[in-house]
Amino acid sequence: MSLCLDGLEPDAAVCLDGPASALFRGCNGVITGRIQVPGVSAHASSPDGVSALEKALVIREALEAFRRERAEKTPSGLFNLGVLRAGNHPAMVPSSISVPARAPLTRRMNTSRKRPWCEM
């Protein structure tokens, strides 16, 4: 892409990113984000706390349903919740949770449309 932006016209390009073991015309990308869930911190023995972890488990169930739905439509478009950070002490109800997330974007290009920079 940077060659095109610099005004050069390459004959071809190969991108070796992703899990596929085949060459295909396509367009991939990724969305990264962070899910933040608030709670109310309190000592674990107190009824005043609202656990961000328990609230996050409800969100996780909704994300799992979304994951199944997305996998039916786009098998290579699954997403990942890779890290979970919650609380600061085992005796405290966690007041917040932060979960970085990553979702690949996969869109096969329509090969019937010719592009001057991408002809095969």
pLDDT of 97 = 94
pLDDT of 48 = 93
CA torsion sign, 109 to 111 to 114 to 115?
Answer: positive
Residue 103 C-alpha from the chain's centroid: 2
Domain edges within the chain:
29-105
DSSP-based helix, strand, coil % in the chain, nearest 5: 20, 30, 50
Calpha distance 5→7 (Å, rounded): 5
Arch. (CATH architecture) of 29-105? 2-Layer Sandwich (3.30)
pLDDT of 114 = 46
pLDDT at 79 over 90: no
Read off the pLDDT of residues 20-54 as tens digits, 9 standing for 90 and up: 666 655 556 777 888 899 999 999 999 899 999 99
Read off the pLDDT of residues 53-65 as tens digits, 9 standing for 90 and up: 999 999 889 888 8
